[in-house]
Structure 1
Amino acid sequence: MFKTSDGIMIDYKVQGESEEVVVFLNGIFMDYNSWFFITEQLKGQYRIILHNFRCQWSSQNGSCSFERHVEDLKELLDYLKISKVHLVGTSYGAEVGMFFAVRYPELVKSLTIITATARITPSIKYKALRWKDGAMSKNKEIFVRSWINDVYSEQFLDRYPNLFGTIIQRMSQFNYEGAVKLLDAFLELERKPLLNQLSKIGAPALVVSAQFDNIKPVNFSQEIAQQIPGAKHVCIPDCGHAAVIEKPKEVLFLIKAHLFFLKN
């Protein structure tokens, strides 16, 4: 555990010994162990930094905003004496990554942005508010039903008919109060969109979208890639929003290719 400057305990994990550091940034309801398949394949070549954001799973609740997540990460990197990182984030974590790259461009070697948005439209807002209602219920079934169709593709849900039950079994330690705070922080993007700040990002950026993303569709990734100078955009076919879960091999391939290209 690491204590932030405002006294919040953040659960983090370090793997590998390389001087090249990759920081993975969670989606809104993810636990850092959800990156396991990908980090297991990379920890031999890179030093891996994982953490649960404040208000997320095993980390403590506190005042929550994208700006505060950025400062938490900066403080964690300072604590670990790390000065340059590759950032890989999905959804909410990718949005934190973009905010971080705008705020601390000198610390970012590269940026991988997976199924994210830089602004909130009415469609995204009403889905996020439905998720918030689910979290406020503190009922596992109601909560998971509030978002499962937005997060996973129809094909994936059909392929794994027991997925709902599997997720429910893993929810015993879920932080519902924290999830409400995280959703409120996300909804601030409506008032303070990030899109017009993305031109400040100088790090090489890979933007990854998913063909059947029902919460942050492909066009939101396209506009992010258009705003970040020199960014590349790749769309994963036959995949829903939770690309890290639905298509981990493809996500791993894209991350490795991006990092390999930079190294060479």
Structure 2
Amino acid sequence: MIFEDLGMHYEVHGEGEPLILLNGIMMSALSWKDHVPKFKEGYQIITYDMRDQGQSARLEEGYTIDVHVEDLKKLLDYLKIDKVNLLGVSYGSQVALLFVLKYPERVNRMILPNATDYIDNYLQAVGEVWKIAARSYDGEKFFDLALPFIYSRPFYDTNLEWLLNRRKMFKETLTKPWFDGLYRLACSNADYDVRDKISKIDKEVLFISGEEDILTPHSHMMEMHEKIENSTLIKLNGTGHALFFEKLNDFMEIINDFL
């Protein structure tokens, strides 16, 4: 379905208490196709492509991550949802944190895998690599430069054939609009920093970290957990930044227990 005011692609699955899924920077609504059927009954699952992702409209250069906060509010208003649970992965967790700080009355509970409350020098450097990779307009080069940061060493060591097939798929399917959108998304959060604000969050928050995640490491997520009084932190062993995919069943079990 399309929210025409924003040219935003979204999908609604099931009925019950709304839970909206916020994509990581390289994801789309399609990334959740294996997760959606595994959510417990009694929840209405909403997936969508942020602008500059998937099937949604493209943006012009020069925007900041805050644009997605306002887009999310407009989508919730359009769907007539007063209060929602948020599940945001990585970039999506940044949108979720900005959203709850601006519109706390619209949020019930939050699930934040691979989250961060600011962009440190290391993340900034990785973002520069992703931007260089995007400007190559070559799916295989992009994979080789960008993806080793995402998956864990155990996943690479045990899933090489799958990864090589995915590399080939990148070469065949990624388009110039996709690369340009990824470039703009990677530029949008350079000034993102809510370190001094998240202690104000009074919602129930579940953090999920990956033992081998080098982008949003467990130690940093522990610091975030300690700032938010009503929060829980669970570590998934043997996983990297793509923990939601590397151990999908374990990931979903943790979330369903929380819900």
Please say whether Structure 1 and Structure 2 have the same fold, judged by a TM-score greater than 0.5. yes
Aligned pairs, how many?
252
Q: CA deviation at 1:62?
A: 1.2
- One-letter identity of the residue aligned with 2:145: S
Residues 60-110 of structure 1 deviation map (CA, whole Å, 9 limit, x = unaligned): 111542211011111011101111111011110111111111111111110
Question: Which residue of 1 is the match for residue 251 of structure 2?
Answer: 251
Residues 142-166 of structure 1 deviation map (CA, whole Å, 9 limit, x = unaligned): 1111121110001101111123333
SS in structure 1 opposite 2:241? coil
Question: Which residue of 2 is the match for residue 70 of structure 1?
Answer: 69
Question: Which residue of 1 is the match for residue 107 of structure 2?
Answer: 108
- Structure 2: any 5+ residue segments left out of the alignment? none
1 CA distance for matches of 2:226 and 2:4? 37
Q: CA deviation at 1:214?
A: 1.9
Worse-superposed segment, 161-170 or 177-186: 161-170
Which residue, 22, 26, 29 being the options, matches 1:29? 26
- One-letter identity of the residue aligned with 2:46: I
Question: Which residue of 1 is the match for residue 126 of structure 2?
Answer: 127
Residues 32-81 of structure 1 deviation map (CA, whole Å, 9 limit, x = unaligned): 12122221122632101100111112111115422110111110111011
SS in structure 1 opposite 2:239? coil
Give me the TM-score of the superposition, normalised by structure 1: 0.91
Question: Which residue of 1 is the match for residue 98 of structure 2?
Answer: 99
Give me the TM-score of the superposition, normalised by structure 2: 0.93
Residues 229-255 of structure 1 deviation map (CA, whole Å, 9 limit, x = unaligned): 221111111111101110111111111
- The percentage of counterpart residues that share the same residue type is 31
2 CA distance for matches of 1:169 and 1:52? 23
**Does the Cα contact within 8 Å between 1:15 and 1:43 map onto a contact in 2?**
no
2 CA distance for matches of 1:92 and 1:167? 22
Residues 119-160 of structure 1 deviation map (CA, whole Å, 9 limit, x = unaligned): 122111111100110011111011111121110001101111
Question: Which residue of 2 is the match for residue 237 of structure 1?
Answer: 237
**Does the Cα contact within 8 Å between 1:118 and 1:224 map onto a contact in 2?**
yes
- One-letter identity of the residue aligned with 1:249: N
SS in structure 1 opposite 2:209? strand
Question: Which residue of 2 is the match for residue 164 of structure 1?
Answer: 163
Matches within 5 A, 1:1-264: 1-4=2-5, 8-18=6-16, 20-42=17-39, 44-63=41-60, 64-171=63-170, 172-174=173-175, 175-189=178-192, 193-259=193-259
SS in structure 1 opposite 2:135? helix
2 CA distance for matches of 1:58 and 1:212? 31
Q: 1:169 to 1:40 in 2, by over 3 A?
A: farther
**Does the Cα contact within 8 Å between 2:210 and 2:236 map onto a contact in 1?**
yes
**Does the Cα contact within 8 Å between 2:140 and 2:168 map onto a contact in 1?**
no
Q: 1:170 to 1:228 in 2, by over 3 A?
A: farther
2 CA distance for matches of 1:78 and 1:93? 19
- One-letter identity of the residue aligned with 2:133: G
Question: Could you list the runs of 4 or more consecutive aligned residues of structure 1 that deviate by over 6 angstroms after TM superposition?
Answer: none
- One-letter identity of the residue aligned with 1:44: E
**Does the Cα contact within 8 Å between 1:88 and 1:112 map onto a contact in 2?**
yes
Question: Which residue of 2 is the match for residue 262 of structure 1?
Answer: none
Q: CA deviation at 1:169?
A: 4.2
